[in-house]
Amino acid sequence: MIINGVSIDATFAEAFPMKATRAIITAQNEKWAMISAQAMTGFATSVIACGCEGAIERVLDPSETPDGRPGVAIMIFAMGGKGLAKQLETRAGQCVLTSPTSALFSGIDGGIRIPLGKNLRYFGDGFQVSKQISGKRYWRIPVMDGEFLTEATTGQVDAIGGGNFLVLAESQPQALAACEAAIEEMRKIPNVIMPFPGGVVRSGSKVGSKYKTLGASTNDAFCPTLKGMTKTDLSPEIESVMEIVIDGLTKEDIDKAMRVGIQAVCDLGAKNGIKRISAGNYGGKLGPFHFHLQEIMA
């Protein structure tokens, strides 16, 4: 399959079941909601070392938030429910509770309820106030700038992590420009996040390493500087490869995000140095969810 001169590999991205949640952070203005959201989703690029994968899903209009203030929706994904709950609570406590004028609300009504502000309330040292409004419990925690308002719980749902595609380009600036265009379109899709810095990862990994202590190491088959040293997957004109990793609530959400992302890359086309789209997988033996590139773009 070739779109606008870009070759789409007959391969697939391999993804895994994860647990996910969404939280809504509001503040006096969008600037401070965004600061808090960025702090909460910082150091959350990969479950390999961060404990979770998280990112900003989208900016919310005041009409969409529970308290009518500007807000940001963030999503956090983890391999299990316990890990997710721990990450959520720790991050909420250190990054949202501490952030001026912030408030924190559940972003998923259904699912298994996990603590959001339920345990943060103890920070109130007995001065915290509970309010049950329309069946939801809120905690008002006195803090130095006034009151921190948080919903007690949010929803945990089954999700999918690890959807991905690789952009193979003739130069590094061209690969990055294509990925930026893809991310801009993919951020318009609800229920997905691209957890790596700016949504793009340049250090894709393979399973295993020559060093026994490492479970993952650089994906040498896609490293352009190793073309003459290893069993490369790159043709001579490829000088740079970048990857976009997608976590989403459902397979359909990831399908949609991959489609608009790959389309945005292909719209730049061969004339902008984009040669191929590929994807990362482990031979289909590890992850139950397979995203076939050519099926998605058909």
Partner 1 sequence: MSALTFTLKYKPAQRVDLSPLVCHQLADLSLADIGAILLQSGKLKLRVDELFTIEGSDTQDIVINNSTDNLDFIGKELDGGRISVNGDAGAYLAFGLKSGEIKVSGNVGLYAACEMKKGYLEVSGNAGDFLGAALPGNKMGMKGGTILVKGNVGERAGDHMRRGNILIEGNAGDYCGSRMTAGTIAVMGRTGRYLGYAMRRGTLLLWNQPTLSASFNDCGAHTLAFLPILFASFKSLNSRFADASIAFNRVQRYAGDMSEMGRGEVLVKL
Give the residue carrying structure tokens 């509770």: 97
- Is residue 63 at the binding interface for partner 1, with CB under 8 A as the rule? no
Closest residue by Cα to residue 281 from 273, 271, 269, 289: 289
Q: Which two tokens stand for residue 54?
A: 């998280």
At 121 the three-state DSSP class reads helix
Q: Which of 138, 165, 222, 291 binds partner 1 (CB under 8 A)?
A: 138
Q: Which residues pair with 102 in a beta bridge?
A: none
- Is residue 64 at the binding interface for partner 1, with CB under 8 A as the rule? no
- Is residue 67 at the binding interface for partner 1, with CB under 8 A as the rule? yes
Q: Which is nearer to partner 1, 71 or 161 (CB)?
A: 71
- Is residue 127 at the binding interface for partner 1, with CB under 8 A as the rule? yes
Binding to partner 1, residues 226-265 (CB under 8 A) = none
Q: Which of 63, 110, 125, 134 binds partner 1 (CB under 8 A)?
A: 134
Contacts of 216 by beta carbon, 8 Å cutoff, 6+ apart:
48, 205, 206, 207, 208, 209
- Is residue 100 at the binding interface for partner 1, with CB under 8 A as the rule? no
Q: Which of 80, 100, 146, 208 binds partner 1 (CB under 8 A)?
A: 146
Q: Which is nearer to partner 1, 43 or 127 (CB)?
A: 127
Round to whole Å and give the CA distance between 122 and 112: 22
- Is residue 173 at the binding interface for partner 1, with CB under 8 A as the rule? no
Closest residue by Cα to residue 57 from 191, 159, 167: 191
- Is residue 5 at the binding interface for partner 1, with CB under 8 A as the rule? no
- Is residue 131 at the binding interface for partner 1, with CB under 8 A as the rule? yes
How many angstroms separate the first and last alpha carbons of the chain?
Answer: 9
Write down the least CB distance from residue 91 to partner 1, Å: 20
Residue 92 · residue 54 · CB < 8 Å: no
- Is residue 31 at the binding interface for partner 1, with CB under 8 A as the rule? no
Dihedral over Cα of 238, 182, 30, 20: its sign:
negative
Write down the least CB distance from residue 127 to partner 1, Å: 7
- Is residue 103 at the binding interface for partner 1, with CB under 8 A as the rule? yes
Residues engaged in binding partner 1 (CB under 8 A): 66-69, 103, 126-127, 129-134, 138, 140, 146-147, 149
